Amino acid sequence: MEDCIFCKIANKEINSEILFECDEFFLIKDIKPVAKLHYLAIPKQHYARFEDAKDGLESLRKIFETIPTLKQKLGLDDGYRIIINQGKNARQAVQHVHVHILGGQDLGEKIVAETQN
């Protein structure tokens, strides 16, 4: 999709080091890491929300299936956390579904959300 940063990376219009790639998705480092290791697994198909995936969620299935096989290469043997932001309350910034994979350190509290009074 035009003007989508992740589509541009997928189409190689923007240069980014791709650590893994298959028919369904590719994996890069997040440009602004929030943990020692912070990767993004990004479906090649453009869709902003799960419900928008016209051809189904095969790409997400493939991502979840593949991550364990990349654990050693990515330095995630001691565990990792997966986050997917969807929509406004999650402050999804890039409107192209992507899976955050955090690791390389103790990630602290299991559930992170700022409380509001």
Contact with ligand 5GP (CB under 6 A): which of 50, 94, 105, 112?
A: 94
85 binds ligand 5GP (CB under 6 A): yes
Instruction: Please report how close the Cβ of residue 82 comes to ligand 5GP at its closest, in angstroms.
Output: 12
DSSP 50: G
Instruction: Please report how close the Cβ of residue 4 comes to Zn ion at its closest, in angstroms.
Output: 3
* Contact present, 50 and 77 (Cβ < 8 Å): no
Select the binding partner of residue 4 from Zn ion, ligand 5GP, none (C-beta < 5 to 8 A, by kind): Zn ion
Q: Is 96 a catalytic residue?
A: no
CA angle 24, 5, 2 (to 5 degrees): 90
Residues between 34 and 63 that touch Zn ion (CB under 5 A): 46
**Beta-sheet pairing, 37-43 with 25-29:** antiparallel
Contact with ligand 5GP (CB under 6 A): which of 28, 35, 42, 60?
A: 28
Closest to 80 measured CA to CA, from 112, 116, 106: 106
Tokens 């001691």 correspond to 78
92 binds ligand 5GP (CB under 6 A): yes
* Contact present, 74 and 41 (Cβ < 8 Å): no
Select the binding partner of residue 39 from Zn ion, ligand 5GP, none (C-beta < 5 to 8 A, by kind): none
Tokens 């912070």 correspond to 38
Binding residues with ligand 5GP: total (CB under 6 A):
13
